[in-house]
A and B are shown apart, each in its own frame.
Chain A
Amino acid sequence: MLIVDDSKVDRTLLANLFAGSYKVLQASGGRESLDVLARGKVDIVVLDIGMEGMDGFAVLEAMKADPDLADIPVIVETCETAHEETALTCGADDFIAKPFNPVVARKRVDNIVVKHVLERERLQAALRETELLAARRAQELLHVAEHDRLTGLYNRTAFCRKTAELLAAHPDEEFAVIQFDIERFKIINELYGSAKGDEVLLAIARTLGEWLHVAGVYGRMEGDRFALCLPHDVALEGDYVRALEEAVAATEVDRQVVLYFGVYEIEDRTMPVDIMCDRANLALHSVKGDYNTHFALYDSDMHQTFLANHELVGEGERALREGRFEPFVQPVFDLATGALVSGEALVRWRDPQKGLVPPGQFLPFFENSGFIIRLDGHIREAVCQLLVQMSEQRSSCPPVSVNVSRLEFYDPRFCQNLIDLVSRYNVPPSLLRLEITESAYADNLPQLLEAVAQLQSHGFTVLMDDFGAGYSSLSMLRDVPVDMIKLDMRFLGDGGAGAQEREKGILKAIVPMAKSLGLPIIAEGVETADQAAFLKSIGCDYVQGFLYARPMPRDEYVALVAAAAAATPGERG
């Protein structure tokens, strides 16, 4: 308690009155009272109003203006009833009249102090609660900011931060960063619904928690891609790999779910963790689609390859702008009659320095980069021009097929763009055949089926390319409404005599079945007379390959078509 009174008598009297229940400070004037308050807060001020110099009203005003002092309760002492009302209006909490009635004075001071102490405690409790709530909320926000909502695992940012912390905390231990994902995860979502897809992701998250929660850091980077940072020996031991595969198998998805792993063994700890992740990811992509190996270690060649690929795509962009891509056409012949029935357009890159760049050197990289869509668009345009040229020279011309990348089916305008293209050139849609690789059907079934149906209804002919190359099941022939099938003979022949015989056996079964469904078959990659004889024996309709004709520049093809037409007038495929 602070007693402020310029009368020592009154001050002493009050101090004596409250000495038993308060620690009493005294000030003999207004200024001195503010000095005392500046040194430390008190629970209550008993303030004389009529003081010389700075009077009680001025002190009250100064206290109310100072945020540190404004909440200290003030009881004024006065012998003038006129001052009581003014003091209360100025912010005093109560007054005690002179001469003091000790009972009344004590009671009023006690009441005010108790009220203020209770109020302060209530406020402090509320503040503590608010702080607790804020802390909890901040924790929740941090959790949301750092964790993947579905699996509760760390997200990319948090994974990188936690990994950096782990590496810093164990400077003498060897670590590796691993990235893994699920082969064709999208199909699981498409075929079984996203709930099943989520179930697979949750099974992975659970297994990571069970196996690795003490070993290292793990998180979900995006979609079906996860990242781990583990001690080197744990990373290469691979127990967790088996555990993950078992967990995924236990989700009862009715097809084999394959996980691919890429591992980067950390050498340079100063490298940002996201670059370590990129390197693990490069290793992962090096085994993507490999049926035998699901696990790859990063090596520096991968980085070089990556840079080279990146550069290649840049060169491709430039070549496309400069018109250096052109279609070569490989003719297709009727196996029974030898007549030229159609052609397949194949992209060639004519580089001013390198000459013709083999397609194997650029197509796979363009496929992965998405640049293939623009390249295919360019080739289709050139093929339409070729068809227009041939139609103008002859009364009819054989159709030419073009390749359609599976990536195109993600573009909702894809069908309309094709329809617009043929109508712009006034080319019958049946002349522009569309080859869709078999693996695309496995990738994106619903959109693709819809697109194929729409294209067929507009008169396009759809071929299933590379049939038998990998993913197909025979049931796909039943489900997918294609018009023709292409078998690639290059898929025969690498597996030794026994394997060749088995594959020939499969072809023997496929061809009659396709024919029974009314699907004509083109065998491409036919290079030997033996192959031709075999194909003839099983009733294959059409052939394409080096044995008959290589892919050729468009002018040569036009000339060949003209010559063939002259030799066998009226023949069409």
Chain B
Amino acid sequence: MDEARGKLAALGIEMDATMKRFCGDTDLLVEMLREFAAEDLLERLPAAIAESDGAAIERAAHAVKGTSANLGLHGAECALRQGGPGGACGRARRHRGVGRGGAGVLPGRSRGHRRSLI
């Protein structure tokens, strides 16, 4: 378990606050990180940007921001917060990379696609 926590911390996850949020359940956190990586949430932002749909961009950015913050992915959240909907484009792209990279480094999963930006 400590090993897993270490790996999660290495990903830049704020472990103290996040583990409180998950009631100390590391497995759940890992599961939710996988879920986050698999959700189409991360697809929505680039799609909205491609269509120049301001409202959709904003909604997707908020969604990513909220969920990533809950997961303790502080960097991604900060990036979105600073960028806001108008400037989310490049950061969102990077964020997408975070998600996939994150999934790759999760304990018990393939590490072959690690492209972490954090």
Contacts and interface: CB of A to CB of B under 8 A. Distances in A.
B35 interface: yes
Given A7-B41, A102-B20, 14 more contacts: A6-B63, A7-B39, A9-B36, A12-B32, A13-B32, A48-B66, A77-B66, A79-B62, A79-B69, A80-B62, A99-B18, A99-B21, A99-B69, A99-B72
Contacts of A8: 32, 35, 39
B7 interface: no
A79 B59 contact: no
A9 B71 contact: yes
Contact of A52 (B59, B69, B72): B59
Given A16-B28, A52-B59, A80-B62, A10 B67 contact: yes
A50 interface: yes
B17 interface: yes
A225 B66 CA distance: 86
B35 A17 contact: no
A78 interface: yes
A10 B20 contact: no
A98 interface: yes
Given A16-B28, A50-B59, A99-B17, A10 B66 contact: yes
B62 A9 contact: no
Given A16-B28, A50-B62, A99-B17, A9 B23 contact: no
B18 to A, nearest CB: 8
A162 to B, nearest CB: 69
B65 A79 contact: yes
Contacts of A441: none
A185 interface: no
Interface string A75-93: 0011110000000000000
A98 B20 contact: no
Given A98-B69, A98-B70, A13 B22 contact: yes
Contacts of A548: none
A411 to B, nearest CB: 92
Nearest to A8: B35
A80 B71 CA distance: 17
24 contacts: A6-B63, A7-B67, A9-B32, A9-B36, A9-B67, A9-B71, A10-B67, A12-B32, A12-B35, A13-B22, A13-B32, A13-B70, A17-B21, A52-B63, A78-B66, A80-B62, A98-B65, A98-B70, A99-B17, A99-B21, A99-B66, A100-B70, A101-B21, A102-B21
B53 interface: no
Contacts of A79: 62, 65-66, 69
A50 B25 CA distance: 26
Nearest to B80: A79
A16 B71 CA distance: 14
A16 B36 contact: no
Contact of A16 (B23, B59, B62, B72): B23
B59 A9 contact: no
- Give the size category of B's interface with A: 20 to 34
Interface in A218-258: none
Contacts of B39: 7-9
Top-7 shortest CB links A-B: A99-B69, A98-B66, A79-B66, A50-B62, A9-B32, A99-B70, A7-B67
Given A7-B39, A8-B39, A9-B36, A16 B22 contact: yes
Interface in B45-69: 59, 62-63, 65-67, 69
B92 to A, nearest CB: 15
A55 B55 CA distance: 12
A55 B35 CA distance: 21
Nearest to A77: B66
Contacts of B69: 79, 98-99
A387 B10 CA distance: 138
A8 B65 CA distance: 14
Nearest to B56: A52
Which of A12, A13, A102 is most buried by chain B, counting CB atoms within 10 A of its CB? A13
A52 B35 CA distance: 18
Contacts of A102: 20-21, 23
Which of A7, A17, A77, A80 is most buried by chain B, counting CB atoms within 10 A of its CB? A7
Interface in A54-87: 55, 77-80
Contacts of B70: 9-10, 13, 98-100
Contacts of B32: 8-9, 12-13
A77 B34 CA distance: 22
Contacts of A99: 17-18, 21, 66, 69-70, 72, 77
Which of A16, A78, A98, A101 is most buried by chain B, counting CB atoms within 10 A of its CB? A98
A50 B72 CA distance: 19
A291 to B, nearest CB: 102
A79 B69 CA distance: 9
Contacts of A50: 59, 62-63, 66
Contacts of B25: 16
Contacts of A55: 59
B72 to A, nearest CB: 7
B23 A7 contact: no
Contacts of B41: 7
Nearest to A99: B69
Interface in A1-52: 6-10, 12-13, 16-17, 48, 50, 52
Nearest to B40: A52
Nearest to A79: B66
B77 to A, nearest CB: 8
Nearest to B32: A9
A99 B21 CA distance: 9
A80 B22 CA distance: 22
A564 B79 CA distance: 143
B76 to A, nearest CB: 12
Contacts of A48: 66
Contacts of A12: 28, 32, 35
A50 B20 CA distance: 24
A433 to B, nearest CB: 112
A29 to B, nearest CB: 13
B4 to A, nearest CB: 18
B71 to A, nearest CB: 7
Contacts of B18: 99
Contacts of B20: 102
